[in-house]
Structure 1
Amino acid sequence: MTFSSHGIGISTTRQVAIGAAFLLQRGPLDIAPRLIPEEMVEAEVERFRKALNTARDRLRAVRQHLPTGTAEDISSFIDTHLLMLDDSAISQAPIELIRTHQYAAEWALQRRRNELVRVFDEMDDPYLRTRRDDVEHVVGQIQIALQQGTGRDEAPSDLTNHIVVARDLTPADIIMLKNRGVIAFVTEYGGPLSHTAILARSLGIAAVLGVHHASQLLRSGETLIVDGEAGVVLADPTREILQHYQQRIIAQAAREAELRRNLDLPAITRDGQRILLLANIELPEDITATLANRADGVGLFRTEFLYMNRTTPPSEEEQLETYLSAVHGLNGAPLTIRTLDLGADKTIECSDPNCPPSNNPALGLRAIRLCLKEPDLFLPQLRAILRASAEGQVRLMIPMLSCIAELQETLALLEQTKQELSREGLRFNATMPVGGMIEIPAAAIAAASFARQLDFLSIGTNDLIQYTLAVDRMDESVNYLFDPLHPSVLQLIQMTIHAANNAGIPISMCGEMAGDPLFTQLLLGMGLRELSMQPGALLETRQVVRASDLPRLTRQAQAFLQQMHSKPAATLFAELFH
């Protein structure tokens, strides 16, 4: 009898996969407190260093075996973990604990892991909070080496047409398994912003995450169907179900081939309206995927990676080098740099050593609030962005604006920075466009006021939905309430679009909603003409744009907004747009 289980579907170009299950049994390591005799301290330090080298060698081996032409955004996951292995927070701090407290290596590393995870858990930004996965994965590799002496790898070398079922997967696991022929993943943990989700999208692998007790419910060798679009895993399917999904696989292969054939066609609607399709990136190396998918530029360059996994902020020159690398890589296309958007990490947010931790990071000191409170942190970034603007189409974007006072204070700091650069004889674009992110309800309601003082607006739907509905989408107990089609969310989006249009300034959307082809026609009908998304979503979105007729979509969107309170939004949406 067919057994079905549900989780979080990760939609990629390959939304469905059929294959034999392979259970990768990797339970959490049980690390108990343990002390060692004083005479064994240096031997324990050496054992830790050996484990560190083992973990490093394993990651380097994975890095070296990446297929030629692999996108940089995929290899950067491994590079990030290699850098973390060299960071003193992981490579040296446990040694100090071994020497000062006579901890066993495993317990010293676990204590350090707990401290680092606590910092990431206090961050509000869902994207940044999931970066705790980096800590977990890197520490896990060292712990395995400490307990076994070598990196653990239970998977056979050939897993062609298999679907891996696991508690969780590291980036190294995912890349290694993909190279061994794995066509899909099912995990018990993970959310839409986890490493597994990001890599599944980048690699075009079907995946369903957050399937509780998957390792106990599914058996190795049985036939599985993974539907990444619906978030469903089917075990032991009937002949009829199997035939249905086999037809879907044939159709999705034809669809993917069509998307690639149309790669160089412009994003122009059937009635002749050009739509700008931009990319969201995190590293300069992501420019490769951005250009490969024919983006019109970068609508969101996250800068937080520059500040993470280090004890001191990056210098102005280090930031400038990073920004210029992206500017030159884009060959004249626009680059929108978002200023620092860290969450409630108290070691960065507050220079006062007695500053208490935030009781509620989601409503605490983050993004522009943090930058204005800590100008010594903010001003070097403003200088670097302005200097980079002399070399290309750079735009500066301010995150999490909530009131006009914040905007005015930021603009005053920007003007002050321009004057300093002029006195120093350093080049910059004096008319560099400055925009703001509309990602909290207060900003959407006041969008008209922001629009009068800014050069562009960008809607950040991830936080806008979270704050409007009081739902943390990374919390499995409530993420079913995270609804982009909620009438209140759509009203705030519509208000923001109208405010920008009335002010005669461009407006884009850079949240996850912008990269979901399911919503493209609705957003076009609501008036958006710029969408920014992860590079892998560009091909499908371009195809939807080219098949769209804006006058018809405008009428449908208006009907949807007028009627969305009279029946369930999802039902009405399906009637009007599908």
Structure 2
Amino acid sequence: MPLTAAASAREILTGLHDVMAGRGSAQSKLDKVVDLIAEKMESEVCSIYLLRENKLELFATHGLRKEAVHVTKLKLGEGLVGTIANEGRVLNLAEASSHAEFVYRPETGEESFHSFAGVPIVYREAPVGVLSVQHDDPRRYADVEIEALQTVAMVLSELIANARLVDGARRNRLRSAGPLRLSGLKLVAGMAKGQAVFHEPQVLIEHTVAEDTEAERARVYGAFRKMREQIDNIEREAEFGTGEHQEILETYRMFAYDEGWSRRINEAIDSGLTAEAAIERVQQRTRARMREIDDPILQERMHDLEDLANRLLRIVSGRMGTAAQTGLPHDAILIARNLGPAELLEYDKRRLKGVVLEEGSLTAHMTIVARAMGVPVVGRLADVRHIAEDGDMVLVDGDNGSVIIRPSRPLQTSFEQRMALSQKRRAQYEAVRGLAAETLDGARMSVMVNAGLAEDAASLELTGADGIGLFRTEFQFLVSATLPGRESQLKLYKRVLEAAGDKPVIFRTLDIGGDKALPYLSTDSTEAENPSMGWRALRLSLDRSTLMKAQARALIQAASGRVLRVMFPMISEPWEYEQARALFEEQVEWAARGNRKLPERIEFGAMLEVPALAEMLDQLLPRVDFLSIGTNDLTQFLFAADRGDPRLAQRYDWLSPSILRFLKRVIDATAKSGTPVRICGEMAGRPLECMALIGIGANGFSITPAAVGPIKALIRSVDASALRAKMDGWLQKPPQDLRRALTEWARRHDVAVG
């Protein structure tokens, strides 16, 4: 019978409940289960494969040859069944043999069946088997049938785990007595040492099939009310006040009140699941969607929903305490699959020394909040929750993106020495904070910071930076659930200017689009193969002129009575700059007509990221007030190498003579025209690379706040004229290894390159 809605899934679950409650061996119960599912779904075949000794063994079947049971075995990743278990995803095929991973096993007698659908059987977030159905006719199974299979697979995991039919030592094998070094993604810089603390106790779902559907629904409603109260309290009590962090929490709150999410949980209860099982069922669906989403912003929204589901599950099960509520040791290293921003804010900042995540991303809301809290974070550490144990000593190196679990005494001593050295260096950088960025031979440099938060402007005094050389205005758009209006933008820009005081702030207009897509802003275009070179930044803003007009008006009003500095990103040709500037000047006229107070003056600049623009500097420089060179994008365009592709990470070097020659040509042109130029991006924040930039004539830099101290120390230890004479010779006749030559020169001349 074709299934219709949750009632059909409930019919199968009722039969499953009777089978599981009855007498008999686990094998006999699974034999009855496959018969039941095949009958209810009118499928010729239903099979269960279980993971045993790292192979998927055909454990029960209706429709395939019985002699294949316990004989047919597939490796993880082998065939359709192995692919489902290995990737943890659903396959739904009208013609199974057409799939690239199809493997035919003659002993099963499956050659007469065409359609195939399979879902993973998951226990404690890891696939332990596969439930599949097959049919004579080539047809895809309906979505409601797949939903029913997934629900049944969830209930089966309870029977399988209780009967100990699958490998149970996976976690123990991953844990070892000795030290283990893991490499991940550096999310927030810093070093920390402490005890492993798990963010949340594992909520084990003991009962999946509901006895009383209405009672389960009432439990979920009560849990939703409690969860929403908690989120509202966190939002009221957050220390950050207004700003981007507040917007993050408002987005998070929006999910907590989302009716669509609560409706999906209700539908799962209708199918016959308990409240806990229904929440977990919807979570599994969310995780499956997360694996399919490439957009980091949408992925982050899904992470927020996962975070809320974990909170709801703890409430409904009565296990509400995370480590934040149960208390932390004085030196806690928090371990989690992922964290939402609200959950991180619940922790005592005095005790929380570091965070280690199985997932996490640079654009994640949690990462932004952690950076504001000053907590080092390393992400993308697969299986770390199964490798570490509560109370283990953990060393977190957020500068290098590495973690050591259960370090030996020598490893711990070495780490402590590096921490002490890092603290000593910070003290040295602190000593130069208030001093001018001036070289030994008296050349004055400008050291500014890149920013995206109002809080970054407030911390200018702490870093000793000369101002904000690049304020990324798109960040407000990336963390917002809806398009920020002019008033919202105005408040942010005004707050930034007020916090910066007399120090200059350069606002970069929106750099969105490409790989920074906004879910609420339709692009009406197909997915780009090369998003960094696609419809983004100024290209998008000029096409969507209302977006740019709103931003221009907000900036003009925010800077009333002050100097407004604006630069346009991703310019390829001078006419794009002219068009953007003209649009801004039209908004100045609009403000004047409305008798609004205008900025004291407006300085317009361009970002050189597209190499083609370097060929038009003679046309561009007379028209701009300043130029910024964006080394991140520029480098990847010059080398045709995606900087996000780890396979190409070592293929190009910022100290390549070709890059330095290109940059020198641009810097020389700006010097000739008298146009101020600033190097923005990661290259300028690395001491050795910055030394090379000084050597080709650069004297203005915009870098991360953490790099200001090291770069100031470098500048104050170098003789710029001697370095420039040496660099001229090296660029005319490059040495075999310019990086090594620079390092040796720095060593001989006591230059502080770290």
Q: What's the TM-score bracket when you normalise by the shorter of the two chains? A: 0.7 to 0.9
Aligned counterpart in structure 2 of residue 153 of structure 1, from 313, 318, 322: 322
Q: Is the 8 A contact 2:286 2:302 kept in 1?
A: no
Aligned counterpart in structure 2 of residue 299 of structure 1, from 459, 469, 483: 469
Q: Is the 8 A contact 1:402 1:443 kept in 2?
A: yes
SS at match of 2:304: helix
Q: 1:178 to 1:148 in 2, by over 3 A?
A: closer
| Match runs of 1:244-393 below 5 Å | 244-308=414-478, 313-344=483-514, 345=517, 356-358=526-528, 360-393=530-563
Q: 1:556 to 1:94 in 2, by over 3 A?
A: farther
SS at match of 2:702: strand
Q: Distance in 2 between matches of 1:520 and 1:419?
A: 41
Pairing 1:533–2:703 present: yes
Q: 1:175 to 1:514 in 2, by over 3 A?
A: farther
More deviation, 169-178/379-388: 169-178
Q: Is the 8 A contact 2:335 2:357 kept in 1?
A: yes
SS at match of 2:701: strand
Aligned counterpart in structure 2 of residue 443 of structure 1, from 603, 607, 613: 613
Q: How far is the alpha carbon of 1:397 from its aligned partner? A: 0.7
2:572 maps to 402
Kindly provide the CA deviation profile for residues 170-200 of structure 1, in whole angstroms up to 9, marking residues without a partner as x. Answer: 4455555562524334434445555666566
Q: Which amino acid aligns with 1:50?
A: R
SS at match of 1:4: strand
1:143 maps to 309
Q: Distance in 2 between matches of 1:108 and 1:4?
A: 34
2:39 maps to none
Q: How far is the alpha carbon of 1:143 from its aligned partner? A: 0.9
Q: Distance in 2 between matches of 1:310 and 1:237?
A: 41
Q: Distance in 1 between matches of 2:598 and 2:700?
A: 26
Q: Distance in 2 between matches of 1:25 and 1:236?
A: 21
Q: How far is the alpha carbon of 1:58 from its aligned partner? A: 6.7
Pairing 1:6–2:183 present: yes
Q: Distance in 2 between matches of 1:346 and 1:10?
A: 22
1:82 maps to 249
Pairing 1:457–2:619 present: no
Calculate the TM-score normalised by the size of structure 2.
0.62
Q: Distance in 2 between matches of 1:179 and 1:429?
A: 40
| Match runs of 1:395-544 below 5 Å | 395-429=565-599, 431-474=601-644, 479=649, 483-544=653-714
Q: 1:7 to 1:272 in 2, by over 3 A?
A: same
Q: Distance in 2 between matches of 1:244 and 1:194?
A: 31
Q: Which amino acid aligns with 2:472?
A: R
| Match runs of 1:169-208 below 5 Å | 169-174=339-344, 176=346, 179=349, 181-190=351-360, 202-208=372-378
Q: Which amino acid aligns with 1:7?
A: G
Q: Is the 8 A contact 1:22 1:220 kept in 2?
A: yes
Q: How far is the alpha carbon of 1:284 from its aligned partner? A: 2.7
Q: Is the 8 A contact 1:327 1:393 kept in 2?
A: no
1:69 maps to none
Q: Distance in 2 between matches of 1:346 and 1:2?
A: 42
Q: 1:294 to 1:485 in 2, by over 3 A?
A: same
Q: Which runs of 5+ in 1 are unaligned?
A: 67-71, 123-128
Q: How far is the alpha carbon of 1:361 from its aligned partner? A: 2.8
Q: Is the 8 A contact 2:609 2:629 kept in 1?
A: yes
Q: How far is the alpha carbon of 1:504 from its aligned partner? A: 1.2
Q: How far is the alpha carbon of 1:23 from its aligned partner? A: 5.1
Q: Please say which structure displays the higher CA radius of gyration.
A: 2
Over 6 Å off, 4+ runs: 25-30, 37-45, 99-105, 107-119
Q: 1:454 to 1:83 in 2, by over 3 A?
A: same
Residue-pair matches, total: 552
Kindly provide the CA deviation profile for residues 426-465 of structure 1, in whole angstroms up to 9, marking residues without a partner as x. Answer: 3434851101112233334544543232111112223223
Q: Distance in 2 between matches of 1:323 and 1:530?
A: 23
Q: Which amino acid aligns with 1:381?
A: Q
Q: Distance in 2 between matches of 1:232 and 1:28?
A: 29
More deviation, 188-197/38-47: 38-47
Q: Which amino acid aligns with 1:276?
A: S
Q: Distance in 2 between matches of 1:8 and 1:191?
A: 8
Q: Which amino acid aligns with 1:85?
A: Y
Q: Which amino acid aligns with 1:287?
A: A
Q: Which runs of 5+ in 2 are unaligned?
A: 1-177, 271-277, 748-754
SS at match of 2:469: strand
Q: Which amino acid aligns with 1:146?
A: L
Q: Distance in 2 between matches of 1:140 and 1:233?
A: 25
Kindly provide the CA deviation profile for residues 84-117 of structure 1, in whole angstroms up to 9, marking residues without a partner as x. Answer: 1344x77346269669989988578998999999
Q: Distance in 2 between matches of 1:27 and 1:476?
A: 34
Aligned-residue CA RMSD (Å): 4.3
Per chain length, whose mean CA-contact separation is higher, i.e. which structure has more relative contact order (CA < 8 Å, sep 6+)? Answer: 1
Q: How far is the alpha carbon of 1:297 from its aligned partner? A: 1.8
Q: 1:2 to 1:95 in 2, by over 3 A?
A: closer
Aligned counterpart in structure 2 of residue 56 of structure 1, from 196, 217, 231: 231
Q: Which amino acid aligns with 1:432?
A: I
Pairing 1:575–2:744 present: yes
Q: Distance in 1 between matches of 2:366 and 2:230?
A: 20
Q: 1:565 to 1:44 in 2, by over 3 A?
A: farther
